[in-house]
Amino acid sequence: MTHIAVLGAGSWGTTFAKVLADGGSEVMVWARRQEIAREIRDTNRNSDYLPGINLPKNLGASTDMAEVLQGAHQVYLAVPSQHLRANLRDASAHIAPDALVVSLMKGVEAGTGLRMSEVIAEEGIESSRIAVVSGPNLALEIAREQPTAAVASSENAQVATAVASAATNPYFKTFINTDVVGTEFGGVLKNLIAVAVGIADGVGYGENTKASIITRGLAEISAFAAAFGAKPQTMSGLAGLGDLIATCESPLSRNNTAGRLLGQGHSFTDVVSTMNQTAEGLSAVKPVLDLAASKGIAMPIVTQVGQVLDGSRDPRELAPHFATDSDTPEGE
């Protein structure tokens, strides 16, 4: 039986630990808070993040990182993106030299603009051992065993295959590709469009506005990803369009919820303090716009989201229909 460690006991970390355990692996979760670890261990529940969900008996938890990582063949990272580097430095001494390291995170590091796999590599993990997982994966739906799919991506196809095998069960299917850039950026960028959709919803705009944002947003994020080497087919697949639809359309999406609160007039500070979980899109706006500027890429929808966040644009002025020159053929 494969022994797997998952660092992070929030909704996504716990859900993916369940996916892996239901796939037949022995799973240990590292939790920052003792009460979370104790509840998972003693009652097979994580009521703070997954209320009403029963967790498998082959899923344990501890606040002792060394204990969680001992003997792990695969290590899955589900911590907030801005805390990844610090958590990796705590964990690195306990990660086996041949263990696969898998990012479940959808963020960009502030200050460096690095994708999560790049941060992992900078912290001493060989790129051939790194994989990323992304797709239309709303945690609570998966925890309820509603069927869905995801993509495991690695420059090493054997690593992607090993991760896909571990992360497949009767309700969760994982496909593979080798487009790490596209898979990661798809997960990051759709959050920013979901914030824009949430803002429009919070303001009270209807389906036309939201459909315009999603459609033009896909064009925007596809152009960005392609400029950094992503394959076009990735952005039209599970890690791109699939994740975009799920995140933009569901009230379970943290980024959609954050945008809706902004659209209702709450300040950025109020939104952060109100939400129990991290909305990665909020912290990714600035580094993504910096990366776009470095390549000369226009990202008008993401720019408008940034302006709402810094208070320079009224949410009611969100204008996806002005995101491109009207004389430019649609799709260019």
Give catalytic residues, as residue numbers: 190
Indicate the length of the chain as a whole number: 332
> Which residue spans within 219-289 are E strands per DSSP?
none
d(Cα 278, Cα 18) in Å, to the nearest integer?
20
> Rounded to the nearest 10 degrees, how much is the dihedral formed by the CA atoms of 75, 78, 83, 86?
-10
**Own/partner long-range contacts of 310-315 (Cβ < 8 Å, ≥24 apart):** 310/268, 311/267, 311/268, 315/199, 315/202, 315/203, 315/262, 315/263, 315/265
Beta carbons within 8 Å of 326's beta carbon, 6+ residues apart: none
d(Cα 301, Cα 307) in Å, to the nearest integer?
10
Residue 40 has which token pair? 């998972």
What H or E segment, with its residue span, contains residue 175?
strand 172-177
d(Cα 109, Cα 147) in Å, to the nearest integer?
31
Nearest 5°: the CA angle 64, 66, 68 is 70
CB 198 within 8 A of CB 256: yes
Query: Which residues make beta-bridge pairs with 132?
Result: 103, 153
Beta carbons within 8 Å of 16's beta carbon, 6+ residues apart: 6, 76, 78, 104, 133, 167
**Local structure of 35: helix, strand or coil:** helix
DSSP 265: T
